[in-house]
Amino acid sequence: MSEHIPKKWLIISHGFNMDGRAASLTVTDKLPHLLEAGIKPIVLSAITGQKDNRFPHYQLLPWGPSGFRFDFRHFIARKFGRGLFYKLITPFVSIALLPFSGLERLLIGLSSQSSWTWPAALKGILLVKAGKVDMIYSTAGAWSASYAAWWIKKCTGTSWIAEIHDPMIIRDHPQDDGSDPRKSRDKNFLQKLEHLICRDADHVWWFTDGALDYAKRRNPLLADKGFVLLPGAEPPGCHEAFPEQHKYSDKLLIGHFGSIATDRSLAPVLEAMKIFFQSYPDAEPIIRIQVYGSDLDSFSKEAMERLSLHHLVQAKGRIEHDPITGKSGRARIMEIMRKMDILLLLHGNYEWCAEYIPSKLYDYFWTTRPIWGITHRNPHLDEILDKRHAYLSHTLNQETILKTLEVIWSDWQKKQLRVVAFDPVSPKDAVDTIFKRIKS
């Protein structure tokens, strides 16, 4: 498959090797398969992740104050944790940079990582000129990776493949195709950048049918070089033997893993739970929702207060690297996932749900645990979940959430929760698809 494929790849990924971060995992999970195929990568990233010693890996500082502040906070947290030193040094740096950040925002008005474009572009151009690169692969996370890749492409003519992790253009309603001017300089710039990517990249892919469809509406010149690619996942421990039989406890544990926000909130679940407990009061002392990887959003907190459901939700926060066992946060999360009765996938309620799939889903597929997906306006995601026999509800349809709760409660009481069909999406499949597109 890898014959006649350029071997010297420059991988540009701002958040590379950040433990558990979706923007990192979409590329780091592919790396073992790229290396196996004979690809010789050089990586450009920020300082926020772990340095990789398997190949040349350049960790670059952004040239703007807001980008430096963002990267510095993550760097200190990774090196020293979020204890006293973090709490002392990061506010000091933020205050010192505040006047410069304000000036940057006033004059430029782009997102904090935008200034990382320039060191990445300069380093990439020098590497190409030195004969060390014959393919550029920009991926995920901060859009500065794609913009840096565009500059390298324009200055050197090197082949460029681009991976768009989430839709670059956030639409406001179903009739909005993303073509009209946006409400900020940053979002307007993203429209221009998307056009540049669609025009100048040799191949470009998105992770959902909806995202590709809207990108093609905005950029007819995308033609046949745009496609959909499911990134998949290969978390640590995923190939270890599965427990022969799930151990049911005296609690029905529903686990949510990943970020929570006001547009991806527990509130719709809590609203349905309150009604559910009126018909099934015996369930209230038994059902518990555990949240890993994120603080609770304001809507979830308000719903818990208003509905008197504080006892229902347990916020566990981020699970980090364990220095005693040496296990990464992601490896520890995989172990916790496999102990859950139900894995909850919150999709959200915003218009952009039509164009994205939560990356944590691909880790879920490796656990063989039942999945409860609560989705919004995304037939592609519904099809993926339905194919694997997951429980399925819709965010804005409380009746579907309530009915699913009743089914889950009944199945749990019988100790016959619906096991998801074991059909993980492998990053190797994604790599093979990329190779096919390059060869074509």
Above pLDDT 90, what percent of the chain? 78
* Amino acid 210: pLDDT: 95
**Together in a domain, 400 and 434:** no
Please choose, from the candidates 407, 353, 399, 398, the residue with its C-alpha nearest in 3D space to the C-alpha of residue 380: 353
**Together in a domain, 84 and 187:** yes
**Together in a domain, 227 and 263:** no
* Amino acid 79: pLDDT: 82
**Together in a domain, 261 and 377:** yes
**Together in a domain, 277 and 225:** no
Residue 239 in domain: no
pTM: 0.91
**Together in a domain, 268 and 380:** yes
* 1: pLDDT strictly greater than 70: no
Residue 2 in domain: no
Burial class of 401 by CB neighbour count within 10 A (0 to 12, 13 to 18, 19+): buried
pLDDT digits (tens, 9 = 90+) for 292-322: 988 999 999 999 999 999 999 999 988 888 8
pLDDT digits (tens, 9 = 90+) for 331-346: 899 999 999 999 999 9
* Amino acid 243: pLDDT: 66
**Together in a domain, 43 and 160:** yes
* Amino acid 320: pLDDT: 82
Q: Which stretches of 5-151 are assigned E, i.e. beta strand?
A: 8-12, 40-45, 57-59, 135-139
Residue 237 in domain: no
pLDDT digits (tens, 9 = 90+) for 186-215: 999 999 999 999 999 999 999 999 999 999
* Amino acid 2: pLDDT: 63
Which stretch of DSSP H or E encloses residue 1? none
How far is residue 375's CA from residue 233's CA, in Å, rounded to a whole number? 20
Residue 61 in domain: yes
**Together in a domain, 134 and 182:** yes
* 270: pLDDT strictly greater than 80: yes
Residue 238 in domain: no
Is residue 162 a contact partner of residue 203, using CB atoms and an 8 Å limit? Answer: yes
How far is residue 355's CA from residue 211's CA, in Å, rounded to a whole number? 4
* 19: pLDDT strictly greater than 80: no
Question: Ramachandran region of residue 241, left (φ > 0), alpha (ψ -120 to 50) or beta?
Answer: beta
User: What are 50's two structure tokens?
Assistant: 């772990």
For residue 274, CA distances in Å to 252, 284, 287, 410 come to 16, 9, 12, 17
Question: Ramachandran region of residue 151, left (φ > 0), alpha (ψ -120 to 50) or beta?
Answer: alpha
pLDDT digits (tens, 9 = 90+) for 38-75: 999 999 999 999 999 999 999 999 999 999 998 988 88
**Together in a domain, 138 and 28:** yes
Compute the mean pLDDT over every residue in the chain, rounded to the nearest whole number: 93
**Together in a domain, 160 and 298:** no
The number of domains in the chain is 2
Lowest-confidence pick of 155-164, 274-283, 344-353, 414-423 = 414-423
**Together in a domain, 219 and 270:** no
Indicate which CATH number applies to the domain containing 256: 3.40.50.2000
Residue 280 in domain: yes
Residue 71 in domain: yes
Is residue 427 a contact partner of residue 233, using CB atoms and an 8 Å limit? Answer: yes
* Amino acid 38: pLDDT: 96
- What is the domain extent for residue 186? 8-232+428-439
Is residue 138 a contact partner of residue 162, using CB atoms and an 8 Å limit? Answer: yes
End-to-end alpha-carbon separation of the chain, Å?
12
How far is residue 370's CA from residue 126's CA, in Å, rounded to a whole number? 49
How far is residue 371's CA from residue 364's CA, in Å, rounded to a whole number? 8
Q: Which stretches of 8-69 are assigned E, i.e. beta strand?
A: 8-12, 40-45, 57-59
Residue 244 in domain: no
Q: Which residues pair with 66 in a beta bridge?
A: none
**Together in a domain, 306 and 360:** yes
pLDDT digits (tens, 9 = 90+) for 367-385: 989 999 999 999 999 999 9
